[in-house]
């Protein structure tokens, strides 16, 4: 399958899911996830109108950002403190902010580098995806405190990778988003849904789908 064919199939899946959920497809952002995909393929996607891509690894994303200055990359993978500076330099947004010490470090470095980088709080409501990162709901207040409403790291929304087969996961996340919006008195977006579960994510109100294989095809191992 070519990229164009895959994109067409993906768009019809999204359109069908939106129709079933009574949602306007223009309200669902498609973020292509380009981890372990070669730059020429990413450039092919750019020619189809995509300019922002999700990457999991700081080093890989930074190399791509340097090689393709016209494109934008956002970090969706776990971030270690010692890579925080490189991440702020290479990525336009950080979707995987999940701990107070990381928030502290990002704030200090964002000031030093004089950059603004929207952040998403990665949450884990299932207490099992530790390898994938994510903050438990009970720890969110401490994380928000550490972020301190810093204008250099504006809070964009919540990101999550629910375990497969967890049928109510997306609704739980939507509920958390609603509660947090109420508390903070400002809108928050929800980044949830991947190649295998985008329909359920759309039904539960996802604002952003992060799509790797259904967009680019299988990744290099
Ligand atoms: C790899 C990855 C995706 C995309 O996964 P696919 O199943 O290939 O669509 C989305 N989000 C995160 C955080 C990922 O690591």
Residues 47-72 have pLDDT tens digits of 999 999 999 999 999 999 999 999 99
**How far is it, in rounded angstroms, from Cα 25 to Cα 201?**
13
Q: Ligand 1 within 6 A of 217 CB?
A: no
Q: Ligand 1 within 6 A of 132 CB?
A: no
Domains detected in the chain:
3-216 (3.20.20.10)
Q: How confident is the model at residue 4 (pLDDT cuts 50, 70, 90)?
A: very high
| 10, 52, 56: residue to mutate for ligand 1 pocket, most atoms within 8 A of CB | 56
CA-based nearest residue to 189, from 199, 201, 148:
201
Query: What are the CA-CA distances from residue 55 to residues 95, 107, 168, 220 (Å)?
Result: 10, 21, 27, 14
| CA 59 / ligand 1 centre spacing (Å) | 17
| CA 49 / ligand 1 centre spacing (Å) | 20
Task: Strand 155-159: give its sheet, edge to edge.
Answer: 29-32, 208-211, 189-191, 155-159, 119-122, 93-97, 72-75, 52-55
Residue 210, sorted as left (phi over 0), alpha (psi -120 to 50) or beta, turns out to be: beta
pLDDT at position 129 over 60: no
Q: Ligand 1 within 6 A of 35 CB?
A: yes
Question: pLDDT tens across 168-210, in order?
Answer: 999 999 999 999 999 999 999 999 999 999 999 999 999 999 9
């Amino acid at each position: 399958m070519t990229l164009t064919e895959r994109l067409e199939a993906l768009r019809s899946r999204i359109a069908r899911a939106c129709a079933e959920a009574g949602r306007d497809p223009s309200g669902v952002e498609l973020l292509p996830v380009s981890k372990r995909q070669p730059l020429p393929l990413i450039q092919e996607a750019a020619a189809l109108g995509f300019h922002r891509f999700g990457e999991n690894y700081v080093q890989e994303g930074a190399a791509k950002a340097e090689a393709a200055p016209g494109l934008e990359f956002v970090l969706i993978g776990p971030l270690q403190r010692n890579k925080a500076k490189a991440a702020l330099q290479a990525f336009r947004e950080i979707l995987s902010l999940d701990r107070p010490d990381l928030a502290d470090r990002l704030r200090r470095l964002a000031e030093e580098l004089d950059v603004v980088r929207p952040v998403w709080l990665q949450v884990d409501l299932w207490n099992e995806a530790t390898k994938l990162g994510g903050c438990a709901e009970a720890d969110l207040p401490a994380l928000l405190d550490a972020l301190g409403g810093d204008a250099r790291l504006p809070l964009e929304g919540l990101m999550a990778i629910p375990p497969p087969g967890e049928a109510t996961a997306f609704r739980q996340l939507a509920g958390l988003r609603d509660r947090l919006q109420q508390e903070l008195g400002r809108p928050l977006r929800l980044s949830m849904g991947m190649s295998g579960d985008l329909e359920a994510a759309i039904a539960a109100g996802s604002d952003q789908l992060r799509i790797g294989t259904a967009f680019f095809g299988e990744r290099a191992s």
